[in-house]
Chain A
Amino acid sequence: MSKMLEIGAAIEAGKGKNVQDLIQAAIGEGMKPMDVLQGMIDAMGAVGEKFRTGEIYVPEMLIAARAMKKGLEVLRPLVVGESGATVGKFIVGTVAGDLHDIGKNLVAMMVESQGFDVIDLGVDVKAEKFVEAIKANPDCRVIGISVLLTTTMPAVKDTLSALAAAGVRNQVKVMVGGAPVTQAFVDNIGADGFAADAATAAGKAKELNKRLN
């Protein structure tokens, strides 16, 4: 098995320590860090696809994403400054008043594993905090808002209004997700993207990121 295939298999199996060792061995054998990164992104893409089609479930995707994260800890310092080392930035948070983070964390992990630099604002994120984060990261093109409760859904619209009022709405594409969210809701409040699950969200973030490029 080639080193890259081994790294991919270790990611899928959720073996974080193995992933780190294999990356170091691959670099030692002369593989370019950027090629390793691309191989890992492809491997996580395949994991995401298996999740999307129902072949695997949250636990399997979660351990793969955690192993990917371990691998990135080793690889990131080696690719800093290389063009294409990150696809772009992704600011994410659970909307004001809502303290739920399981779905948001999964989305953050899957988006990160597709090469994004993720800025996670946590839960109960007030609109001003999104505004500040966008202003502090003018190169960020996509943000994600998570919402679980029907009672906090109105706060998503309020957040969009606050982005517009602060003059940063056109700087970013906004994707929204969470159990009660539908495409119709997203269209209705004037957000830009919806994904029904974390793997699809990662693809959506890439797509929206490209659209603004």
Chain B
Amino acid sequence: MATGTLPPRPSSGTGTRSPGRAQIAARTLRTDSWRKAPTLTVVLLSGWVLYAVISTATQSAYFVKDYHYLSPFSSPCVTASCDPAARDFGAWFGHFPPLLPFAIVVLPLLLSFRLTCYYYRKAYYRAFWQSPPACAVAEPHGRYSGETRWPLILQNSHRYFFYAAVLISVINTYDAILAFHGRDGGFGIGLGTVIMLVNVVLLWAYTLSCHSCRHITGGRLRHFSKHPVRYWVWTQVSKLNARHMQLAWTTLGTLMFTDAYIALVSAGVLGDLRFFH
């Protein structure tokens, strides 16, 4: 009856092979395709970062002057290298050398917001650091200290990046409003306007669905009943928060799509589909 397929092994390992535990050699006995999710995360996140680096480093095709479409990757555009029409907040710096993104002021903040995001943490701890690659699959590291030490203890700063992300979302909203711009300088709506609008709405949804936001608006309270307004806000944020992962991925997509669309129109590859002027 016993097949004894597993060779006996010394019980002096670590993790699931620690002394005392059931002696099973396999790293995992999962039979489903647990590698799929982390692999997909690596491919998609790497692809996105690659695209973003190339797009911002080229310092070109970030702006459509006729319709005032400014790519979110280059907003706010505050260097003398920017197209004068795109400098909605003035020029704070002189000319940038090549390869330096125009939105250098906010990009680190935005990246940090996503880097310290509770969802992305899960995604990249699992996919890149394999800690763990999937549930009940042993991780390849001998030691583990979680987020107790430098640098990972800095993850606790997430709420500050959230504050920054709110400000940046305001700027993105301003950009979307300016994109209601006709060729004649007056009011106008094109496909680009719609794309920028959808992007900014989803960015708001992602930003407000943040776990820190949920905590700040109401989560930190002990008595909801004494703060009915904050409780209502908390329930709404909680509903969004349940979709935090979906929003995290969707906004990566819409950011990239918005940037790509503006680049294509700016380079003259595509003509913007105009609905009004």
Whether chains A and B associate is no
